[in-house]
Structure 1
Amino acid sequence: MRAIFLTLPAILALTACIEVDMNVEILGEDEARVTGYMQIQRQMYEMSGQDASFCDAEDGGTFVLTDTHARCQIDKTGSFAEIMDDGGADGPQDMQAQLVHLDSNRVRALLPLSALSGQMEDMASDPQAMAMARQMMAGLSIGFSVSGDSIESTTGTMSDDGKTATVTLGLDDLLAPGTPLQDFETIVRY
């Protein structure tokens, strides 16, 4: 979970074969719960030597193998530092998701998607890499949401009840040449 949710280079490296849907629920001044899943097509899982290391029980993961997918169900509650622990990743700070307590009962959640734009432009300059990425990513999506008592503002899409903000990136969002991605930033009340 650390690698997929928190460091964008890891997200990019895994998007070719992993579908993601994660929610961070802000529970308090320094407490959050991450729930959701990551899944890989069973065929890709078997081709990778049936390596389930992407689903770490210490990170709240429960591995489930179905006829079509290898899935990691995530459910972890902890402090912001525990939830946002990148496991010692060496990636740049501007590419790591953040939860920051602002005041009384507000938290800023940031997923810096704009940091992916340069990496995607590099891939777009290689037609073979782009064709392979399009084929591998067809139909896949990456979804992130932040929830709490209410959403004050978001660059994503707000739910009808005003309690959840979501961003979903599909193939076209990630591989569209020359289209910069916008950071997913949300101010949430708990």
Structure 2
Amino acid sequence: MRMLKMAAFGAAMALSGCIDVDMTATILGADHAQVNGFMQVDRQTLDMMGGGAAFCNEEEGGTLTVTDTEARCDMHVDGTFAEVFEGDPGEPVPTATDLGDGTVRVVFPIAAMTADTAEMRADPQMAAMMAPMLEGHVFTMRIAGAEIVSSNGVIAEDGKSASFTFPLAEALNPDYVFPETFETVVRY
């Protein structure tokens, strides 16, 4: 499961209230990235999804660990930008563009990935049902490299990564506005 597929799947599952997602894309060169991260779901949800293969694809970099109470898919993907940020046809995809000066601009389409939240917000019964399931769950995407040049996310104190994180309960908050994109310029 490449990063976009993982992110899109994770966002959909996260907004259903049953998953935590934390992913880091490290830019290593003009067309080279490495993605590490995880998705974690409770065991009951994994069983409802049809088991581990539906949740964590080993052939696409996933390693599944299952306990009595939860399942965790640890991801590791290394390759070109096209390989790492690959998406399904018609789906919004992140872009990574070499700027020619030792930096890369990475753009994630956050608004497109979270478009389903409007439906939950518009239905008070659905919002009331979803609120307890979303509480305490978090979705995080991070871009890392030798140095973050700029970002509309939160830049770490060491200046080597920028992140976009939101508590999933905010998906039901009518005042919360998802950014159109999470954009970072990173030096490799």
Question: Does TM, scored on the shorter chain, surpass 0.5?
Answer: yes
The answer to whether structure 1 residue 27 and structure 2 residue 24 are counterparts is no
Q: In the alignment, what sits opposite 1:63?
A: 64
Q: Residue type of the partner of 1:99?
A: A
The offset of 1:104, in angstroms, is: 2.3
CA displacement, residues 111-133 of structure 1 (integer Å, 9 cap, x when unaligned): 12133565322321111221222
Distance in 1 between residues matched to 2:157 and 2:120, nearest whole Å: 37
Question: 1:177 and 1:165, CA in 2 relative to 1: closer, same or farther beyond 3 A?
Answer: same
Distance in 2 between residues matched to 1:107 and 1:127, nearest whole Å: 42
The offset of 1:18, in angstroms, is: 1.9
Distance in 1 between residues matched to 2:111 and 2:86, nearest whole Å: 21
The offset of 1:51, in angstroms, is: 4.1
Identity %: 38
Q: Residue type of the partner of 2:172?
A: L
CA displacement, residues 119-175 of structure 1 (integer Å, 9 cap, x when unaligned): 322321111221222222221111110100000001111111100101111123322
Structure 1 unaligned residues grouped into runs of 5+:
none
Q: Residue type of the partner of 2:184?
A: T
Q: In the alignment, what sits opposite 1:185?
A: 183
Structure 2 unaligned residues grouped into runs of 5+:
none
> Aligned Cα RMSD in Å?
1.8
Q: How many residues align?
A: 183
Question: 1:70 and 1:118, CA in 2 relative to 1: closer, same or farther beyond 3 A?
Answer: closer
Distance in 1 between residues matched to 2:115 and 2:68, nearest whole Å: 37
Question: 1:46 and 1:35, CA in 2 relative to 1: closer, same or farther beyond 3 A?
Answer: same
Q: In the alignment, what sits opposite 1:53?
A: 54
The answer to whether structure 1 residue 111 and structure 2 residue 108 are counterparts is yes
Asked if structure 2 preserves the Cα contact closer than 8 Å seen for 1:77 and 1:83, the reply is: yes
The answer to whether structure 1 residue 159 and structure 2 residue 161 are counterparts is no
Distance in 2 between residues matched to 1:118 and 1:161, nearest whole Å: 32
> TM-score, normalising length from structure 1?
0.87
Asked if structure 1 preserves the Cα contact closer than 8 Å seen for 2:46 and 2:55, the reply is: no
Indicate which of 89, 96, 113 corresponds to 1:99: 96
